[in-house]
A and B are shown apart, each in its own frame.
Chain A
Amino acid sequence: MQEDILKIGPKSFHSRFILGSGKYSMKLIEAAVRDGGAELITVAVRRANTKEKESILDYIPEGVTLLPNTSGARDAKEAVRIARLGRELGCGDFVKIEIMRDSKYLLPDNEETVKATKILADEGFVVMPYMYPDLNAARDLVGAGAAAVMPLASPIGSNKGLATKDFIQILVDEIDLPIIVDAGIGRPSQACEAMEMGVDAIMANTALATSGNVALMASAFKDGINAGRKAYLAGLGRVLNRGGDASDPLTGFLRD
């Protein structure tokens, strides 16, 4: 098979698994990166306090690209502010825009996300917006200069899987940027299914953090994502609406 590269902005990745680093021990990050084969890892920006001396950066292996998010932002203005602070922390120009007005369902505000994408793309950021899978909003994100589009599968942290499957398929078919399913993927089989649809990459965090073994689950996700990618590249076999179709030759045995 030809080398299969995922290009996001100026960078090329071999891995199609984007790892979240929230809700589990920093000490497990290195094993999760290793066993999951992740090359892109998300982090959040928060107020520094005096108690915690160690930095998450000490636990992230070299060569991994950092993807700071704008979690906590309620509108475009706050997202831009958090993104600039994230860039000032000195780990590159990537940013995952996350803007939420509601704390119950944590659904992204597409309109504010488009605004923030435009501002940050104009400032040279590699913008990866988290969004509700809506074709019109996705087209606006393309126009605003996004480097990828990150539709949700189901609410953040829910592990409920591909609730928005048909709408993500529309984005895969119509949007000429990497489509990365972010939020809600709970199992490797769901990651595999999304990849079979032609999604370019999967982002997962809670599925690992709430599993019994973060590193082993990272490895399972890697396998699921790779299986789905290969199936997509191979082209899935067709589905019969009715009846069967023998896999074995029907002639030349016992009868004429």
Chain B
Amino acid sequence: MVKINGKEEDAAGISVAQYLENLGCDAGRVAVEINEEILPKKEYAATILKENDSVEIVRFVGGG
């Protein structure tokens, strides 16, 4: 299992780019961190999610 935004998901084996696409997420509008390291956008396609990875996918929202 891969922990994505705090939830366990069966996402091991797919690429970050594929995961975002499945999510319907515009890769240009998010930032991705894997195991507390930022993943540069150009590596989304080649980076395969592994068992026990901890992933954060964030975006901008309204705030002060």
Binding site for B on A (CB under 8 A): 20-24, 26, 29, 42-50, 53, 55-57, 66, 68-69, 71, 81, 84-86, 88-91, 156-157, 183, 203, 205-206
Residue of A nearest to B28 (CB): A90
A24: chain B residues at CB < 8 Å are 62
Cβ contact of B61, chosen from A46, A53, A90, A205, cutoff 8 A: A46
Extra 16 A-B pairs, beta carbons < 8 Å, given A47-B6, A48-B59, A205-B64: A43-B61, A43-B63, A44-B60, A47-B57, A48-B23, A55-B29, A56-B61, A56-B62, A85-B33, A86-B31, A88-B32, A89-B59, A90-B28, A91-B60, A183-B64, A206-B64
B31: chain A residues at CB < 8 Å are 45, 85-86, 88-89
A85 close to B63 (CB less than 8 A): no
Main SS class of interface, A: mixed
A20: chain B residues at CB < 8 Å are 62-64
Binding site for A on B (CB under 8 A): 5-6, 23-26, 28-33, 36, 38, 40-41, 56-64
Main SS class of interface, B: mixed
Q: A48-B57, A89-B58 are in contact. Are A203 and B64 (CB under 8 A)?
A: yes
A90: chain B residues at CB < 8 Å are 28
Residue of B nearest to A203 (CB): B64
